[in-house]
Amino acid sequence: VVVTEVLGGGRFYIQSVADKKLASIQQQLASLNLQAPSIIGVFSPKKGEIVLAQYTADNSWNRAM
């Protein structure tokens, strides 16, 4: 189990690292060659919309909300 988000007040989200569906999604994201230019300031996702976000520490792409 991995803590994926801490909301405060004792509330947090976790994810099972043994989940085969999660592993499949992570492999698919890793296989993408996302070379698109940055669109900071142009893209305005709506609340609750699922998007991809690049993690700057290792440049990996991850699902985000």
Residue 7 tokens read as: 């909301």
Whether the per-residue pLDDT at 35 is higher than 70: the answer is no
Contact 24, 33 (CB under 8 A): no
pLDDT greater than 70 at residue 38: no
pLDDT category at 10 given cuts 50, 70, 90 is very high
pTM: 0.46
- Domains in the chain: boundaries: 2-64
Q: In angstroms, rounded to a whole number, what is the distance separating the alpha carbons of residues 57 and 40?
A: 18
